[in-house]
Structure 1
Amino acid sequence: MIKFVKCPRIIPQTVLQHCRCNFSKESETNIPKKVQETDENGTAQKKYDPKDVTKDDMKWRTAWHQKEGQYYSMLRTFYKEDNQRSLLQSLQTPIDLSPSTIKKWWAKNKEEQNVVYQSYIPMRNQMLGNELAAAHFIVHRGGSVKFFNEDKWIKANEYKEYNLPRFYEEDKILQGIDCTDMSLVYEGLVNLRDLKQVEWLSLNGCEYIDDWCIDKISHIFSHSLLYLDLRNCSNITVKGLGALYKMRNLKILYLDDFLRSTTYEMTCLLLQEANPELEIKSDPVVFE
């Protein structure tokens, strides 16, 4: 029979000498500094520091769609930044084919398409200039525009044909913009920035115009706008109306009914107090 006998492991003396250390405070200063690791070229390698990790280093993959400014290609219609999250959410959500759910889905899908359809295209502004680029943006989507020193409004016909210059012209300066019943969204307002002398603006019937849009519009046209029509915009509240104080030159403001509530009426009075020349008009109220 073979017997296994435990015996102490023999450790070389050189290893024991290497492992001995003195933990006294005096010997800590005498410990030699660690030699920096070098690569094949002989240059010192930088020590890993967790504080130097950036947000890009934490990404597990590189996004296939790289944004350039605020320009998006038409392929963005098939891409969403929350693809993985929306996929997991749809798999865990029971199927609901009720008319109300289908209606909400269709409205959301339509709004997302409008965001892509109204995205800012830098090449268009570089070729046409800010004034003509904004005119093409409005007229192509069902609105109309008017230039200084011209009496007629330019609007597309039933075949979506319209007469606007295809190249930059220095004397073309927008005076009026009519966005009545357009599906204008917040992301599309970036196409109206840097306009110099717009005096007339109508947003009558724009269903997507809300308080955030009014705040941006009041910033873009704070120096020039004289007439503003906000009728039939159900998403505008008192908060958005209060942002109009930035328009110091505004003369006429059209609203649905400024007597709808005490807060709404008080906001209108404060606007007139900040701008004494402002005249707020409203459609007549019909009592049944």
Structure 2
Amino acid sequence: MAAPRVLQQCRALPHLLRSSCLFGSDPSSNLPKGGILQYLCDRFYDIENVLAWREKQKYSKIERQNRYHGHLKEYCGDDIVAVNFTLYNGGGVRFKGQEKWLRPNKRGKYSKDFLVLRDVLVEAIDLSGSVVSYDGLDNLVFLTGLKSLDLSRCPNIDDWSLSRLHVFKDSLEELLLTGCPRVTERGLACLHQLECLRHLDISNLPSIANKGLILILLEEMLPQCKVVGMDYGDGVALDPGAQMSGDEMEEPSIPSRDRKAGEIPA
């Protein structure tokens, strides 16, 4: 019975178009040679092209915001590169021995006074809620004194991104991953190399199902670290025979630059 109803709706299209002011006083004069169906088909592809253009612009903006600020490295050093990148993305920075955080104002503007601290190590970085991605971490991986890193609510932080944090194994003490939608148990497995980690926040990670089991495994990998945000009873399967295979906690390899967006480590 569905087919006749669709046909009736199609027959009603000319009447609806004639009664609409969309085509002016003479709707037939504005219709393409192919008729109503051709007109609708053309409009569909127009909308599709607009949506594709908007999506392309979105990813182009993300790429620009994650570019490497290497022009500062030669004269100012790696720490200033990280500071400029973080402030450019609306984040916050704290230098060693200081309590005050450097942040941009409400309009995204920030002072370059931090250049006088080029010889001071960066101790804490807050990139929460930013568009930082795997490529954007190029600006941070050369920090030698980083103790605290906040990547909460970063939609582009994924398992590949976490695989790069091993460079902070001798310094990082606090890591916040709250609300990162693309982080899975594979990415968390990479954190076993962070030997100095003392605080790990993994609250609200929607891509992780068996949270209780993941919590147990993390506590075994990082016995010196306090893991918060998960409970032993979260997401535990009711079926006693349901177990997670060892492959699910396998550490991913470092990806190449031409990896596809959203690709999950194998």
TM-score (norm 2): 0.63
The 5 A counterparts of 1:204-215 are: 204-215=152-163
Say which structure is richer in helix: 2
Q: Deviations over 1:11-65 (max 9, x none)?
A: xxxxxxxxxxxxxxxxxxxxxxxxxxxxxxxxxxxxxxxxxxxxxxxxxxxxxxx
The 5 A counterparts of 1:1-288 are: 95=45, 97=47, 106-165=54-113, 167=115, 169-216=117-164, 218-257=165-204, 261-262=209-210, 264-282=211-229
1:245 Cα deviation from its structure 2 partner: 0.7
Q: Deviations over 1:70-100 (max 9, x none)?
A: xxxxxxxxxxxxxxxxxxxxxxxx93626xx
Give yes or no for contact 2:72–2:80 (8 Å, CA) kept in 1.
Answer: no
Q: Which residue of 1 aligns with 2:37?
A: none
Q: 1:250 to 1:105 in 2, by over 3 A?
A: farther
Q: 1:242 to 1:160 in 2, by over 3 A?
A: same
Choose 1 or 2 for highest CA Rg: 1
Q: Matches of 2:215 and 2:53 in 1, distance apart?
A: 36
Give yes or no for contact 1:183–1:207 (8 Å, CA) kept in 2.
Answer: yes
Q: Matches of 1:223 and 1:269 in 2, distance apart?
A: 24
Equivalent residues, number: 189
TM-score (norm 1): 0.59
1:274 Cα deviation from its structure 2 partner: 2.2
Residue 145 of structure 1 aligns to a residue in which SS? strand
Letter in 2 for 1:138: T
1:276 Cα deviation from its structure 2 partner: 1.2
Give yes or no for contact 1:258–1:268 (8 Å, CA) kept in 2.
Answer: no
Identity of aligned residues (%): 26
1:125 Cα deviation from its structure 2 partner: 1.0
Q: Matches of 2:102 and 2:52 in 1, distance apart?
A: 35
Q: 1:105 to 1:255 in 2, by over 3 A?
A: farther
Residue 113 of structure 2 aligns to a residue in which SS? coil
Residue 198 of structure 1 aligns to a residue in which SS? coil
Q: 1:166 to 1:145 in 2, by over 3 A?
A: closer
1:257 Cα deviation from its structure 2 partner: 4.5
Residue 207 of structure 1 aligns to a residue in which SS? coil
Residue 146 of structure 1 aligns to a residue in which SS? strand
Residue 109 of structure 2 aligns to a residue in which SS? coil
Q: Matches of 2:114 and 2:99 in 1, distance apart?
A: 20
**Greater relative contact order: 1 or 2 (C-alpha under 8 angstroms, separation 6 or more)?**
2
Q: Matches of 1:258 and 1:232 in 2, distance apart?
A: 5
Q: Matches of 1:242 and 1:120 in 2, distance apart?
A: 27
Q: Deviations over 1:206-237 (max 9, x none)?
A: 11111111111x22322211111111110111
Q: 1:273 to 1:156 in 2, by over 3 A?
A: same
Residue 95 of structure 1 aligns to a residue in which SS? helix
